[in-house]
Structure 1
Amino acid sequence: MLTYLNIASLLGKLVALMVTGLGDTTMKILESSVSQTKSPGNFQSLNTWSRHVLSLIPFVLHKTLPVVQRPPSVSASTTTMVQSANTHLAISNTFVNSAVNNTQGSNVADQTKARPVLDQQVATTIKFKVLLQELQGSQEICPMVGPTANNSTRSSTLYLSQSSLQLLKASVSTSTKQLYLRSYTLLHKFCAKQNVPFSLPFTEVLICNFIGDLFQQGYGPSTITSHVSAISYLHKLFILPDPTHSFIVRKTIKGTHNLAKSGDIRLPITKSILIKLLSALHHTVQEADTRVLLSTIFLLAFHAFMRLGELVARSSVYNTKVIQRQDLLFLDDNSVQLILRHSKNMKDGQPIVLTLAANYFNPQLCPVRALKTFTSLYQHKSGPLFTFKSGHPVSHSFVAAQLKHAIEFIGLDSSKYLGHSFRIGAATEATKNGLPENVIQQLGRWQSNAIRRYIRINAFRL
């Protein structure tokens, strides 16, 4: 007699055999997404698990059925549009590449039927260079921007007006475009590695395998979710069905959370949070000199991608291991040099020399200015750089406690913002500003792919 568990098991094997397009890593991640329901303990959970497996079957059948070809009744205007897509679909200075059907036929009826829906054939002609042109600010003509003087016969209703175009441009910030570009770069590399075309629309299987590849490289669940969100944005902009919301993609993402090696809940102290923390010190710390000391530590930890343990010691045993006063050198009014003699990833024991530049655009966040103010108040010539006026080195626990008070003052969860959050925030902020991963790796002195665990980019709000 077949039980629900037998049926579910058989269905599971059937689905596993049918989903041949998914990679091994992707399958492992997908399997982990249902780990809590693999061993049901009652009738209801058995039934739920069976339905869970059954729900995959429409997707599998859809993927295994042959693609239905477009009937021969496609209008000539669509054919013309396909031929001209690569030359005319040059995107301007925003994500305005959701190209409206740029129908070019002379048939008035064809123009009347035109919809702002990207034809699938046109979508497949969109290559990576078009995205690069858009993200880097191409000034070529966009088919959404309306007819030129030499082409005034086209209906103006097929185009975005200049005012609506400006509004669409304003909806995407520069930093967000940099993040999208990073996501598309990773996807383009993956497609090239898999020898599959980089063209819209992307299939659910390709996206799942992309997720599996990112996870295998060491990317965290939140970062992977952000890259998937960028793909979602692209499909929505082209008015295409969004494959990222499919059941199998959502479950694959869930699997990355279930299989994540660490439950690191530390959040980044970004530039905006750092500004709030510096202001909060005026309310949480009474002594002005101590505020200067803490502000300098905060700014140095952020701008130099430093671990808190490299600045202040956890115990007196490590007082000689933190940065020393003689390791600080002002090169001129515009920069300062720091020498790290003890660091986690030091090669062959060779000191690491860091140079920080002044920030004249935002003096409140300038590390050089902060260090000058600090050294004018704390004039010791030897020992740990951060020392109280009494001569006692500043301890790690003191800084952690003061950070906790400031975090709570600005209304954030102090259990998620710790000393290492400055380093995490620096990596995250650098990524938002478009710095390449290898450059960030050098700035933070990371080895291999460890940097990817530090970049915390929330899923894009679409």
Structure 2
Amino acid sequence: MAVVQVINALSARTFESNALIRHLVLTCLCFNIIFRAVHVPGRINNIVDSLPLTVLDIPQTSADGRLFPDSHTRGGVATWPPELWNMILGSLSVNIRKSYLLALQEILRFLGKESLEEVEWPLPVSTLLAFVMHCKRQGKSRTAVSNRLAGISFFSRLQGFPSCSALFPIKRAMLGWARESPPGRDGRKSITIQILRNILKCLADVCSNEAESLLFKCAFSLAFYAALRVSELAAHAKHGPSTACLQWEDTKLEGKKLIQRVPRSKTDQLGAGAYITLHEWQGETTCPVHCTRSYLQIRRSTCGGPLLVHLSGLPLTRYQFARVLHLALTSLGMSTVGYSSHSFRIGAVTAAAGLGLQDSEVMAIGRWGSGRFRSYVRLPGYFAVKGQP
């Protein structure tokens, strides 16, 4: 009766049984077969006893329950067509995709394999633990190793096996590592409104012409007041796809307010988009509405695509954004250590928290879905009131 229940439920409590059930289901799917098990009492079940063993053709399994030879468990994904791989990898963000492919390269190098086709899945726990220790001895951080395990788990789950990060020995090893070396405080600094004022003021000396100065004034102002990630603001490169950043056709100036659509973000990989409304701040040199209006007056109206473009029509890139920020801070006599493109977003959150806004309001400004923003706040005594992030 237990066998009947397991077959009809298509699930069991042991890995070995699940491996057999998976083989049965995949075989039946190939031939469009729907099956259901029925219990036959032993006293009348004489059909199976009359069959020779050669007819039964029972599949062989390894000690850990893996069936072989079977393309599903041994290099099966390596035979998938490129179109399918593009679809699967396209479900990941650019940075996550790079991280997972790097993890695959490192585990292949550790195993001494040349390709994914040579790897037998699932990887033994002992191999995974040895890989973790190898990475630690190389000086990799715990976060980096966690990312590697996530990448390995991705390719493991593609073949129907559980995530290696969820294995008990792996979880305990990573937890022990975390306790012996607790994470340090985020060292990135925030850009305050006063620093932003100084940056915009010195852009005339940093940039090559007035048009470039207006471009970066608009970029820096939007980055701060809209709490934008640099990936939402600027293009990844001068040439190539640039539809994920702010678009010219999604920018609307209506009286004393600016309505801007963010087409895609780190937490919006499907591109549902989000709208941001910014209001004019009379007399403020960093006002995003004023800076955007001034920039649009010199922007080529015939040039569609990204909102922030040079006079040549090429889009503002993330590298250029960070580089001009670095030059502006240097021009002001400030140290550039700790400042990055993300400092605008950190500054926006810190300013919002300093004004006494509720957590839900701060989350709406930065389009967060959780309290993760608290780690960005750079206010003394803030966590004593709100609690640790």
TM-score, structure 2 as length reference: 0.49
Higher relative contact order (CA 8 A, sep 6+): 1
